[in-house]
Structure 1
Amino acid sequence: MAAMYPLPDDFFQVPQLSPENCVWFTDYGERTLRTMLDKVLKKDPNMIWNYMCDMDGVRIMEGEIKGFKLDKNTIPFRVYGKVNATLEEVALIHDFSTRQKCSYHKKHFANDILDTHTLYNVIPRTEDNVFKQIYVRWSAIPSPVAIIKDRDFVFVECQNEFKFTSGRRGWAFCQTSVELDCVPPLKGSGYDLVRGDLNHTGCVFMETEVPGVLDVVYHISYDFKGSMPSWIRKLSVKSRARTIKAISDHIHQLRLSSQLQRSVSSSSSSVSTEVESVASSVATVLSNITNQKRCSICNSSFRFRKSYQCQSCSEQVCSNCSQKWKLPTSTGTSLRVCTTCSEAARSGTLWETSHSCATPASDISTSAQVDARQSLFKASSKP
């Protein structure tokens, strides 16, 4: 069925959002987000979280209530992990305000989704409040096995920041199902989807004591409806859990891309302002690169192995000390980056000097936070 996706941009014909419905969706989204945050941040003595597995750097737990047998179709799961990012970066990549941004999100870190459409942009991001957005969305997910039908969901998604009494910041989104007469279950015409329910499903990102590192808790509570064995449900949960690593990797790629563009821009500027100096040193630079016989990082000899040039710092390195990264561009350009530059980008050392919105959140001043929010708003305003 995947070949039938993505759906046409005008597939869903929804009526214009009335002021009354806007108020209702806003209230519903804010209430469900508060409820989900209470579930995640406040310890429930009746809830037990049993270890399920570790994968891709995250830990998955399965929920259980003391003395009560949960319906197998509504058992909640938790995914715990960390990402190298700031709240501004995480909020930026969870922008679903346009069809293009929905497609971008699916392509880069939601490959467990068949397609997603924003039906209503209830509260768009503003310069005064860049973290808060409320959408009404539709998403379809594939079944892990061919004999089980694909599922789809219609839900309200509320995103917003929050702050602990200690001053530590966090950002979260919550997805809770809603019924819309204008978006009935898709049956017939080749789309035989089972409409499922999302019950306070969402992700919480929290600053840690380490600048640029966020704790992540993904609360997953699906009711897939229909008949679905528990082991298949767990496969779907595992697919969703992989998005945490995908988010961290994608932000890393964005930082590398920004660093490369900054390096190219800096080089171009230097050439235009110091043409004579550059021209006189070209022969010397080429000679040094050609004559370099050892890796700049591990000092291994290039006598029996190929050397590569890091496209960020221009140092000569071996294959063990470098890696090819695919950039998040329409052309899918790849570049080779040494491990030193890669780690610097992941930790934010390179990025924080080139983009204010990625400054380690626990260290930024009030003015820097304002700059970060303005950068986030301007980035999200681009088509």
Structure 2
Amino acid sequence: MTTPRETATSATSKTPPLPGSSSSGAARSASQHSGSSHGKLPLASDFFSVPQLNSKESKYLLGLAKHACKEVVYYSREHDGPMTWLHLASEDGVKVFQGVDHATTSKPEAKALTYLRGACQIHATLDEVAEFFKLDTPEKLAGFSQSVGKDLLDQQTLLTLASPTAENPKHYVGVKWTAVESPSKLARNRDFCYVECHDEFLDTNSKRRGWVRSIHSIRLPFCPPLNKSHGLVRGSFYRSGFIFTESADGNSVDAVHTLHLDIKGNAPNWLKLLVMKRRIKNIAEVNRYFQRQRLIRGKLLGDLELPAKDGVARCQLCETRFGLFHRKRRCRKCGKVVCSPCGHDFLLDYAGAGPKKVRICLECSEAVGFGANGAMAKDVKKATKLSSSDVRPLYD
């Protein structure tokens, strides 16, 4: 079995040549475009000269996407998968793990890869989660950028290989290019070219339905590195993505975000971990996104409707006594007077006043977390069956 990094090279070399888009031609095209854009982002919509794929090329990329989906689900397993996951910390409601792949640790190429896994619970349905990641409107892209994709600088869809249908509404395959911002001035911004796949699955161990969004880096001649033209270092994703499985109570989903990443360049190890931990913890923002949407649809108290804080000596949730270090805050949903730890700030547009930061107590934020449709549907007829026994490694 080869390492993921070796496979990225070999898999790319196996990619059929794309008509009218040799590596040198694509590089010249990118260079010409960069001269007109002066190396700035976002790129022009016609920056990449994407050719028409033939059936063999499309079939290869669709097969790669399908295998990558299975790999992401299989390698994300905490207990019965091929990875050993070591708990690092629990921050912002997300359990963060670092992974060890014993099959590749002895190989020098594996030292460039860092494996992280984040897990939390999200109060939403699989349908809502799949719709959230379907970035087919400016509004959805804005919601994504304000939550999971806070470091997103630019993104383009280069190819759409499979679109949702009435029979399979949660399935999608495409090739995308993305540029992300570095969290430190000590390192340059990164960009990635990858195949992205969305699909449903059935975990045959737990009999629970799930949905996965996988991303796997590829090299394509019409998407050359933009190091010289835009100063972007081309990184690589392997076996990365989001996995959502319906929970036992049916009112939420167990969410996992895995990153197997080589950010390339000469970045120190501490910066690699900083980049990945920041991205991993963003999975909690998916839950906050759904909370915000439900709060906006519900009724919030206006200034004249809020009860007075005078006479309230203790937090009405945890009963902590108010004082110099424990200030009084009022929940815009129920009006309770609470301390700072017993609430969250949400940026909401309400009462026609535009976006405004409002305080919502923990009790109300949890109450609006659950999907309006109650328990999730149990229809699994169209789900792809995946388990540790029938998932085959991509890197044979």
Structure 2 length-normalised TM: 0.70
Tell me which amino acid in the other structure corresponds to 2:43. L
Per-residue displacement from partner, 1:129-167 (whole Å, max 9, x unpaired)?
Answer: 222111211112222322322211100011111112353
After TM superposition, the structure 1 = structure 2 runs for residues 105-120 of structure 1, keeping only pairs within 5 Å, are 105-120=144-159
1:344 paired residue among 367, 370, 385: 367
Residue of 76, 79, 92 corresponding to 1:40: 76
8 Å CA contact 2:227–2:234 kept in 1: the answer is no
Deviates more, 1:21-30 or 1:239-248: 21-30
Stretch of structure 1 that moved more, 216-225 or 323-332:
323-332
Q: CA deviation at 1:290?
A: 8.4
Partner of 1:69: 106
Secondary structure of 2:199's match? strand
Determine the C-alpha separation between the residues in 2 that align with 1:323 and 1:62: 28
CA RMSD of aligned residues (A): 3.8
Corresponding residue to 1:318 among 323, 337, 348? 337
Match of 1:283 in 2: none
How many aligned residue pairs are there?
A: 327
Aligned to 1:373: none
More helix by share: 1
Instruction: State the alpha-carbon separation in 2 of the partners of residues 135 and 126 from structure 1.
Output: 15
Q: Which residue of 2 aligns with 1:378?
A: none
Residue 298 of structure 1: aligned partner: 316
Q: Would the aligned equivalents of 2:121 and 2:255 in 1 still touch at CA under 8 Å?
A: yes
Specify the code of the residue in structure 2 equivalent to 1:298.
Answer: Q
1:157 corresponds to 2:157: no
Q: How does 1:50-199 map to 2 (within 5 A)?
A: 50-66=86-102, 68-69=105-106, 71-97=110-136, 101-165=140-204, 166-189=206-229, 191-199=230-238
Is contact 1:73–1:230 with CA below 8 Å preserved after alignment? no
Whichever residue aligns with residue 345 of structure 1, its letter is V
Letter in 2 for 1:326: L
**2:294 aligned with 1:255:** yes
- Give the whole-Å Cα distance in 1 for the aligned partners of 2:62 and 2:129: 22
Which deviates more, 230-239 or 160-169?
Answer: 160-169
Q: Distance in 2 between matches of 1:339 and 1:62?
A: 30
Residue identity matched to 1:252 = Q
Counterpart of 2:88 in structure 1: which amino acid? M
Query: Among 60, 67, 71, which residue is 1:24 paired with?
Result: 60
Question: Over residues 29-56 of structure 1, what are the superposed CA-to-partner deviations in whole Å (9 max), with x where a residue is unaligned?
Answer: 1111112222224856864322333322
* Mapped contact 1:79–1:218 kept (Cα < 8 A): yes
Matched with 2:10 is none
Q: Secondary structure, in 3 states, of the residue corresponding to 1:108?
A: coil
Q: Unpaired runs of 5+ in structure 1?
A: 264-285, 370-383
- Preserved CA contact (<8 Å) 1:77 1:219: yes
TM-score, length basis structure 1: 0.72
Match of 1:224 among 263, 271, 274: 263
Matched, 1:327 2:348: yes
Amino-acid identity (%): 28
Choose between structure 1 and 2 for higher RCO, CA contacts under 8 A separated by at least 6 residues. 2
CA distance in 2, matches of 1:308, 1:46: 48
Cα distance change, pair 125–292 in 1 and its aligned pair in 2 (3 A): same
Unaligned runs of 5+ in 2: 1-38, 320-326, 383-396
